[in-house]
Chains A and B, each alone.
Chain A
Amino acid sequence: MSLSAKARLQFMKDLGLPAMLRLAKATKGKRAPRAANPDFGPPLKCAARLKEIMTRHYYLSRFAPGARPVAWVTSGAPVELLRALDFYTIYPENHGALCGAQKMGPELCAAAEEQGYSSDLCSYARVDLGHFFSGKTPAGQLPKPDLLFCSNNICQTVVYWYKVLAHRLGIPLVLFDTPFNYGEITEANIAYMKEQILEMIPVLEKTAGKAFDMQRFMRLAELSKSTSQLWGQCLETMRARPAPMTIFDAFVHLAPVVSLRGLPVARDYYEILLAELTERVGQGIGAITNEKKRLMWDNIAVWYKVRDFAELFAARGMNFVAATYTNAWAETIQHLDMSRPWESLAKTYSLVILNNNLKHRLGLMEKMVREYSVDGLVVHSARSCKPYSLGQYDLKSLLSRRLGIPAVVIEADITDYRFFSEEQALTRLEAFFEALEAA
Chain B
Amino acid sequence: MSYFAGIDVGSLSSDAAIIGQDGDLKGWSVTETGPHSTNAAEAALDAALDMAGLTRDDLAFVVATGYGRAAVPLAGKKITEISCHALGAYALFPDVGTVIDIGGQDSKVIRLGEGGKVADFVMNDKCAAGTGRFLEVMAAKLGVGLDDLGRLSLAAQGEVSISSVCTVFAESEVVSLVAKNHPIDQVIKGLHRSVVNRVAAMTGNIGITPRVIMSGGVAKNAGVVALMAERLGVDIAVPQEPQIVGALGAALMAVRAAL
Contact = CB atoms under 8 A, between A and B. Distances in A.
Contacts, number: 39
Given A430-B80, A431-B82, A431-B83, A400 B120 contact: yes
A397 B125 CA distance: 18
B206 A397 contact: yes
B123 A427 contact: yes
Interface of B is mostly: mixed
B126 A434 contact: no
Interface string B82-118: 1100000000000000000000001000000000011
A435 interface: yes
Contact of B80 (A407, A409, A431): A431
Interface of A is mostly: helix
A393 B205 contact: yes
Contact of B205 (A397, A431, A438): A397
A423 interface: yes
A434 B123 CA distance: 16
Interface string A396-429: 0100100000010101000000010101100110
Nearest to A439: B117
B126 A419 contact: yes
The winner among A397, A400, A427 for most chain B CB atoms within 10 A is A427
* Size category, A interface: 10 to 19
Nearest to A424: B126
B80 A434 contact: yes
Contacts of B222: none
Interface in A364-407: 393, 397, 400, 407
Given A400-B120, A431-B80, A438-B117, A411 B125 contact: yes
Given A419-B126, A421-B126, A427-B67, A397 B120 contact: yes
Contacts of B67: 423, 427
Nearest to A428: B123
A430 B64 CA distance: 14
A428 B117 CA distance: 15
Interface residues of B, number: 18
Contact of A411 (B80, B82, B83, B126): B126
B99 to A, nearest CB: 13
B80 to A, nearest CB: 4
Contacts of B206: 397
A393 B205 CA distance: 6
Contacts of B117: 435, 438
B59 interface: no
Contact of B123 (A400, A424, A435): A424
Contacts of A430: 80
Nearest to A433: B80
B74 to A, nearest CB: 20
Contacts of B126: 411, 419, 421, 424
A393 B122 CA distance: 10
Contacts of B227: none
A11 B117 CA distance: 65
A428 to B, nearest CB: 6
A438 B125 CA distance: 26
Contact of A434 (B83, B106, B207): B83
B4 interface: no
A411 B124 CA distance: 10
23 contacts: A393-B205, A397-B120, A397-B206, A407-B120, A409-B122, A411-B125, A411-B126, A423-B67, A424-B106, A424-B123, A424-B126, A427-B80, A427-B82, A427-B123, A431-B83, A431-B118, A431-B121, A434-B79, A434-B80, A434-B83, A435-B117, A438-B117, A438-B118
Given A427-B82, A434-B82, A438-B118, 5 more contacts: A397-B120, A400-B120, A431-B82, A434-B80, A434-B83
Interface of A: 393, 397, 400, 407, 409, 411, 419, 421, 423-424, 427-428, 430-431, 434-435, 438
Interface of B: 67, 79-83, 106, 117-118, 120-123, 125-126, 205-207
